Amino acid sequence: MQDLKGLVVENIPITKEIYKLQVSVPEEILPEIVPGSFAMVKVEAKGVFLRRPFSFADVDLKTGLVTFYIKTVGQGTGALRELPPGREISMLLPLGRGFTVMSGKSLLVAGGIGIAPLKFLAKEITKNGGEVRIIYGVKNAEMFIPEIVNAFEDVEVYAEVSGLGKRGLVLDGLKSTDLSTYNQIYLCGPEAMLKAAKPVLQNYSGLIEVSLESFMACGFGACLGCAVKVFSNNEFVYKKVCQDGPVFNFKEVVL
């Protein structure tokens, strides 16, 4: 983990709720970053004391460009949205345990802003010669990131409103998929989506990894504020989303 300073290159709204923040870090100091890991980004705003955790939506080690998709949910994310290009930004990175990048055919299942780490994962799998299919569910157009559809060949969009992909939920896409044709499955999305996916995936024998979203105060194991219950080695234990995750074996996570 390092505390790196970068410069805002681009900070643009994608919708009223989501924006894309791109930060440039000198490439010679940017460490190797795996999909699913995250950064704690410092927010310079009155009354905001905690850094905010964001998964990487993309990292380019050659250019030093780091990309986040951020949903505006409060004062911290609202303040970051206002940063102009050229402004310095401080990031603790990389944090947490990321996805296992596998070859073969991968099914990526994203709900809402959960698409962010899966976009980076899809890029890395493809780079390694693997194939990806993405099932991408959003509530409405305000949560939809069009460049996901442009970046990958096989993306199926589900929306809860009509006029955007297929009408329905991510779960509809998952249920209508022949899971046995995939070597591994990756998920990231709201808890309700993950809970609903549990029974659908219970007979799937391959690797399933999930990136969990959690409130995080410190991001590196010090505050114990991000505990999640898992069933591992025949016992229930609590693990830290920030340090033991955010990526976990989906079959072990108790939702």
Per CB under 6 A, residues contacting ligand FES are 216-219, 221-226, 240, 242
Q: How far is the CB of 35 from ligand FES (least distance, A)?
A: 20
Annotated ligand binding at 100? The verdict is no
Contact present, 57 and 67 (Cβ < 8 Å): yes
Phi, psi of 160, deg, nearest 5? -80, -10
Q: How many C-alpha atoms does 111 have within 13 Å on its Cβ side?
A: 24
Q: How far is the CB of 226 from ligand FES (least distance, A)?
A: 4
Q: How far is the CB of 92 from ligand FES (least distance, A)?
A: 11
Annotated ligand binding at 250? The verdict is no
Annotated ligand binding at 126? The verdict is no
* Between 119 and 239, CB nearer to ligand FES: 239
Q: How far is the CB of 230 from ligand FES (least distance, A)?
A: 14
CA–CA distance from 131 to each of 99, 101, 179, 184, 204 (Å)?
16, 11, 14, 11, 19
Q: In this structure, which amino acid lies at residue 160?
A: E
Burial class (CB in 10 A: 0-12, 13-18, 19+), 74: exposed
Annotated ligand binding at 188? The verdict is no
How would you classify residue 229: left for phi > 0, otherwise alpha for psi between -120 and 50, otherwise beta? Answer: beta
Residues 95, 166: Cα–Cα separation, whole Å: 35
* Between 133 and 239, CB nearer to ligand FES: 239
* Between 102 and 217, CB nearer to ligand FES: 217
Q: How far is the CB of 223 from ligand FES (least distance, A)?
A: 3
Q: Beta strands 18-24 and 52-55: pairing type?
A: unpaired
Residues 17, 25: Cα–Cα separation, whole Å: 26
* Between 192 and 223, CB nearer to ligand FES: 223
* Between 64 and 98, CB nearer to ligand FES: 98
Per the annotation, binding residues are 52-55, 76-77, 218, 223, 226, 242
What residues form the annotated binding site for [2Fe-2S] cluster? Answer: 218, 223, 226, 242
Residues placed in the known binding site for FAD: 52-55, 76-77
